[in-house]
């Protein structure tokens, strides 16, 4: 059973002007597709090819001899998750149980976003910033390269991709502007709330 390259959950130009169709054509159409292709080639004929993406990630995490499989599997998962963390007309603030949980664990919504922005801005080089559920508590973490918090027993609720290919065509070296726009105009809090409810 080959891993599939999922379609974007919206049209390629749906996030404009914040993220261009040109960026998504490269990021989703080339980078994400390459990770899927590489993963399928790497697991073909092994006992990993019939496992779920999450099972592959957890099985090979920390094994230096399986680093290539881990990197591609985690990047397939991370990107699929990231696309769903955005939506046309996103931004704003969450409501309901998610808003209550954020206020309880961070003190305020603004403090939560401030921590997420800081994590995304200070991740040196390529990587991701995450809102996770860790032992029942919301936390902000950052990971380098393909790393995913699920390998540490945390449940990802939200991510922002800070690899340069996520923003460079639109923002060049202005990572903070991309991060700010993500939270003001793109973030899909409904998806985050669904993830928390399912955890």
Question: Tokens 């090819």 identify what position?
Answer: 49
Specify the pLDDT at position 2: 87
What is d(CA 165, CA 8) in angstroms, rounded to the nearest whole number? 17
Number of domains in the chain: 2
Q: Give the domain extent around 46.
A: 21-84
Q: How many residues does the structure list for the chain? A: 199
Specify the pLDDT at position 1: 64
Specify the pLDDT at position 45: 93
- For the domain that residue 189 is a member of, what is the CATH number? 3.55.40.20
- For the domain that residue 68 is a member of, what is the CATH number? 1.10.287.990
60 shares a domain with 127: no
Beta bridge partners of 132: 139, 156
What counts of helices (H) and strands (E) characterise the chain? 9, 3
pLDDT in tens, 72-128: 999 999 999 999 999 999 999 999 999 999 999 999 999 999 999 999 999 999 999
Helices (H), the chain: 21-26, 33-43, 53-60, 67-84, 96-106, 109-122, 168-171, 175-181, 189-198
Q: Which residues of the chain are under the pLDDT cut of 70? A: 1
């Amino acid at each position: 059973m080959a891993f599939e390259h999922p379609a974007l959950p919206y049209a390629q130009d749906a996030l404009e002007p914040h993220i261009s169709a040109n960026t998504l054509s490269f990021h989703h159409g080339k980078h994400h597709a390459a990770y899927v292709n590489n993963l399928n080639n790497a697991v073909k004929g092994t006992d990993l090819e019939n496992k779920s993406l999450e099972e592959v990630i957890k099985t090979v995490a920390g094994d230096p001899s399986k680093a290539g499989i881990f990197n591609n599997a985690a990047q397939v998962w991370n990107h699929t998750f990231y696309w769903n963390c955005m939506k046309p007309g996103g931004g704003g603030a969450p409501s309901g149980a998610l808003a209550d949980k954020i206020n309880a664990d961070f003190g305020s919504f603004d403090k939560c976003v401030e921590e997420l922005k800081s994590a995304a801005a200070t991740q040196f080089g390529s990587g991701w910033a995450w809102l996770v559920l860790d032992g029942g508590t919301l936390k902000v973490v950052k990971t380098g390269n393909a790393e995913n918090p699920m390998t540490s027993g945390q449940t990802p609720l939200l991510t922002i991709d800070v690899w340069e290919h996520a923003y460079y065509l639109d923002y060049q070296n202005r990572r903070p502007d991309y991060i700010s726009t993500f939270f003001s105009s793109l973030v899909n809090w409904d998806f985050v709330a669904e993830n928390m409810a399912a955890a």
